[in-house]
Amino acid sequence: MQLLKSIFCYPGFDNRFRFLVIIFSCHLIILASNSVLAQFVYSNIFILLCLALVIVLTTCRRLNDAQLKRIWSVGPASLFVIIGLITTITNDSNTNWLLILPIILSLLLMTYPSKAKTDYILGYSGPIDLSEFDYTRVNKQKRNQRIEPIIITDLQNPNTPIINANLNKQKLQSSETVLSKSLINSTTSKYDNNEQDIGVSIRLKLLSNKSIKLTLIILSLLIILTLTVSYLISSISNNYEEIEPTTKPKIEIMRTDRVSFPDNFSLLLSQHHGLIINWQADSSDNEKIWELQNAQGDKSCKEVTFNNGKKIRTTDVVAEDREQYFANFSPLDTESLLQEIAFRGYFTLCGYKFSLKGSQAILGKHIEYARIVAY
């Protein structure tokens, strides 16, 4: 709990390592959130704002540690929010590349050494007590343990006891204190010197008067490259999604057993024994006149209606050679459809009325249809 409080602490200090860990963690969390909670935009925005608050606070503590102006704290968090909103609202994984930009801005603060004269616990120093995470606590507990006095008898004077427990305890504590302080100071100073040398040298190298133009050019090229890669990946993905439906193999319908009727229409059977009604109509520019699958097209073609009021749905109606209409029916309706054609007076389909005069005799002469019709 104390560790969590230290993340939301405002007046403390964060060294370079802790600042880097928090920044990278926030960016990883928003990437995971956009991936897992892609459908929950408002939840992602709430998480984004919470992470932005964490970035603002750790940036303020890093600025306190480096003794820099607080105005720096606005930069990384603002850029993080703007790009985070873009990636969340667009729900495009290719825009995640843009999160490199706030990371680069945050890394600039890594080049400034720690100037606060304070002791760090897990990279933090401030009003929140993190002493339970102090690795030297074990040594302190050992040093504070009570040592029972031991009475040693002098060999020459057996009746004279010598109490040297306090002396041994003082020697032990002083030796441990000197050793631990020397190790900690040497390690800390070595780390701080290396950290200062590396960070300052990088900053001076990149931001010196001679190199500032080159640095800006490299950053600009990096931003342009990131945006270009994101755009190319997005374009390739969109093109693939557009091409994919058209690559599906088209199922060819085989038409057999044509039989013609006096009122200028014909019946055919598909390879699955589904009935097909064919007639010549007005010229149409649309190949698909009606399709049951998406219920789009001419509503008058969605079913055939006989003079007794019975209606049977079509699966689709297509136009070939602009004038040849083909109305396809399910194989499940073939028997009932032929029964109606054989014994009814007329039917309407797509706004056209067709007479069924003499249909029973015509179907009876065709073996394939005659065996289906029940007389």
Does the pTM of the predicted model rise above 0.75? Answer: no
Q: DSSP letter at 110?
A: T
Region 254-280 average pLDDT: 91
Q: Where are the domains of the chain?
A: 2-144+176-236, 256-370
Per the model's pLDDT, the better-predicted residue between 61 and 38 turns out to be 61
Does 126 score more than 80 pLDDT? yes
What pLDDT shows up at residue 195?
Answer: 45
256-370 folds as Immunoglobulin-like (2.60.40)
- Rounded Cα distance between 88 and 41, Å, is 7
**Helical packing angle, 16-36 and 41-66, nearest 10°:** 170
Q: What percent of the chain has pLDDT over 90?
A: 23
Does 275 score more than 60 pLDDT? yes
Pick from 251, 368, 256: nearest CA to 315: 251
For 295-354, write each residue's pLDDT tens digit.
Answer: 888 899 999 999 999 999 999 999 988 889 999 999 999 999 999 999 999 999 999 999
Confirm if 82 and 49 have CB atoms less than 8 A apart: no
Region 185-212 average pLDDT: 49
